[in-house]
Amino acid sequence: THGPVARDDPNNPGILTLTKDSIEDWLSLYERLDELKEAEAQGLLTAEEAEATKKAVMASFGNVEPVALQFLSEIHHDGVEPDVISFNAAISACEKGGQWEKALQLLSEMPDDGVQPDVISFNAAISACEKSGQWEKAIHLLDQMRQCGVEPDVMTFNAAISACEKGGQWEKAIQLLAEMQRNGVAPDVISFSAAISACEKGGEWNKALELLGEMRQCGVEPNDISYNAVIESLEKMQRNEEADEAYMDAVKRGFYVDFWRDQEGKLDLHTASEAIARVVLRAWMDDLKSGDRKPANLIIVTGRGNNSVGAPVLPKGVRSFLRETHGPVARDDPNNPGILTLTKDSIEDWLSLYERLDELKEAEAQGLLTAEEAEATKKAVMASFGNVEPVALQFLSEIHHDGVEPDVISFNAAISACEKGGQWEKALQLLSEMPDDGVQPDVISFNAAISACEKSGQWEKAIHLLDQMRQCGVEPDVMTFNAAISACEKGGQWEKAIQLLAEMQRNGVAPDVISFSAAISACEKGGEWNKALELLGEMRQCGVEPNDISYNAVIESLEKMQRNEEADEAYMDAVKRGFYVDFWRDQEGKLDLHTASEAIARVVLRAWMDDLKSGDRKPANLIIVTGRGNNSVGAPVLPKGVRSFLRETHGPVAR
């Protein structure tokens, strides 16, 4: 869109910055370009003035790759000799635009034009290679600049070390770190952090720890990137004790404290990798056990998790960690897949779990409980710990072993535990065992089993259970249909999802926001944008207010099919109803898109640019927080997506 090109924050890959100046430049760019051309055409500028003006514009717009290269081309075309400033601006533009081959081409052309490359020229070219993963080219340029008599500085070495880190060359990174010190160039936090990250990627946890100590000896304070890399390397090798020590050292220095929002009862891990999340959760559990932290309701914000590859790993990783450590099980927020909730009660239950288990066993062993009391106690514990899968199944096993007959409450707690633990096969097995034990499944039994199938992508099993419960004379309720529709949505069965939505209404079950949102999401995944829009209108007619999931799915489906006008209308309708307004933090000068998909981000940015053009919003410095972006597949898509969008729209430059 030929919009502003996004610039990365070197300390946080999920942050893009647009300055007020760059936005104002973008608004006036083509106006100034036209004025310059007109002045030249009318002979209002002398040759010297023309050259000076072009170079000034070149420097001014050096961060806009197409503009920088256009002016360099015009300089050549008009017979004006470019100087080192012109070339450096163009090479820097290529570096920021990810055009490493073009950057190297320009660098090689400088001597032909009688221009000697300086340290800025080489640094920009090496940085272009680093950002594009061309570590061998970066090292070659470092050698070349020495041959040209240009002394490398700290920025040169940092770019070269970072290139080696990205290329998995940890030994070369350490060699460069040592070389810069021999050459009298003092390494900074970026130098050390890049070398530590290289060691982490190479599985060299001991080298990473060694470098962390070395940087302190050099008087360089570690940053979050340094600690992240060290902890990642230790967690990979299951060096939990050392990882915990590194984490506590970082906390003492003020890092990771922003994860905790105690006043809101939140642990916000959306910027954390799975390894960092595990260390944070381990420390939290230790604090609970020691009494340094009191049990309280806790919301864990996971988003996708930093460094996610493929499907979002952090929500699953947090649940897995809590299961492995027999901690409290995190419950999903049905309206937000990036939110996990732990209640104060579940945390208190977890703290007393094994204490109560030991007490119960001791009382039984000593004959302090009658058979009736034993049965009642076990069922009470069963219900109490129904959200902890291993415990629930353990107690159900003990009930059978001791000859105590389980009832529907016991089975429901166990099936619900399997559902929350992602054990759909075990859930179905327990459901099938109920009649054998003389227990009739009820709507809760079937709902938990269908939900287990839905969460595991077993849509056909979910539909089969819906039919089975009718055969058993159990009437499905709204939760039943919601789970079945969600199963179809996850399985890409949009037609079946719509059929179930119609069926529940025929059966006198009123669909709620979850029913409609799941059906709309199914249509979005099936590319049925018109059906998605139709359902959005239908839910309003039924008196059901759409939520963010409803709007997200509709906008996603429209953007996929390039129905930009309808997507913008849906977005504006959502904004009027109070959605998406949290993206904007005007007092902080931030646009926080880390929970947005690329499609939603495009619509938000389109509206922002329209507001700038119309004058409804004034230019000001803006920080765009992207994180990875919701629904990223493979590498993080949102930072790249935002930059691409701004380039396509010729928008302001993001740093």
**Measured CA angle at 329 (ends 326, 334), to 5 deg:** 165
Report the chain's mean pLDDT, rounded to a whole number: 81
Model confidence, pTM: 0.53
Using DSSP's 3-state secondary structure scheme, residue 283 falls into: helix
329-360 pLDDT, tens digit each: 677 776 676 788 888 887 887 777 656 655 65
96-151 pLDDT, tens digit each: 767 889 889 999 988 988 889 999 999 999 999 998 889 999 999 999 999 999 99
CA separation for the pair 269, 487 (Å, rounded):
28
* Statement: residue 269 has pLDDT above 60: yes
Structural tokens at position 547: 């939520």
Which of the given ranges, 333-342, 441-450, 614-623, has the highest pLDDT on average? Answer: 441-450
pLDDT band at residue 633 using 50, 70 and 90 as cut-offs = very low
- Per the CB < 8 A criterion, the answer to whether 382 and 392 are in contact is yes
pLDDT at 394: 55
The stretch 172-200 carries a mean pLDDT of: 94
Residue 135 burial (CB < 10 Å; 0-12/13-18/19+)? Answer: buried
pLDDT at 536: 95
The stretch 286-292 carries a mean pLDDT of: 87
3-state secondary structure 501-557: HHHHHHCCCCCCHHHHHHHHHHHHHCCCHHHHHHHHHHHHHCCCCCCHHHHHHHHHH
* Statement: residue 460 has pLDDT above 90: yes
pLDDT at 66: 52
pLDDT band at residue 501 using 50, 70 and 90 as cut-offs = very high
Virtual torsion, Cα 120, 124, 126, 127, nearest 10 deg: 130
262 vs 404, more confident? 262
* Statement: residue 277 has pLDDT above 80: yes
244 vs 93, more confident? 244
The stretch 540-557 carries a mean pLDDT of: 92
Which of the given ranges, 12-16, 613-617, 625-629, has the highest pLDDT on average? Answer: 613-617
366 vs 233, more confident? 233
**Structural domain spans, the chain:** 6-234, 257-345, 584-649
The stretch 66-89 carries a mean pLDDT of: 62
Positive or negative: CA dihedral 358, 363, 364, 365: positive
pLDDT band at residue 52 using 50, 70 and 90 as cut-offs = low
- Per the CB < 8 A criterion, the answer to whether 297 and 343 are in contact is yes
Q: Identify the residue whose tokens are 């207010």.
A: 545
Structural tokens at position 354: 């094994």
504 Cβ contact partners less than 8 Å away, ≥ 6 residues apart: 476, 478, 481, 511, 515
The stretch 544-559 carries a mean pLDDT of: 92
pLDDT at 232: 92
53-64 pLDDT, tens digit each: 555 554 445 444
* Statement: residue 518 has pLDDT above 90: yes
Structural tokens at position 633: 């597949």
Given 1.25.40.10, 3.30.470.20, 1.10.8.50, 3.40.50.970, which CATH number is that of 6-234? 1.25.40.10
pLDDT at 443: 94
pLDDT at 78: 52
The answer to which of 21-25, 226-230, 472-476 has the lowest mean pLDDT is 21-25
The answer to which of 141-145, 169-173, 350-354, 477-481 has the lowest mean pLDDT is 350-354
pLDDT at 15: 78
| φ, ψ dihedrals at 139, nearest 5° | -65, -40
DSSP for residue 652: P
CATH number, domain 257-345 = 3.30.1370.110
The stretch 398-404 carries a mean pLDDT of: 53
- Per the CB < 8 A criterion, the answer to whether 406 and 430 are in contact is no
CA separation for the pair 264, 154 (Å, rounded):
42
The stretch 366-379 carries a mean pLDDT of: 63
pLDDT at 320: 77
pLDDT band at residue 310 using 50, 70 and 90 as cut-offs = very low
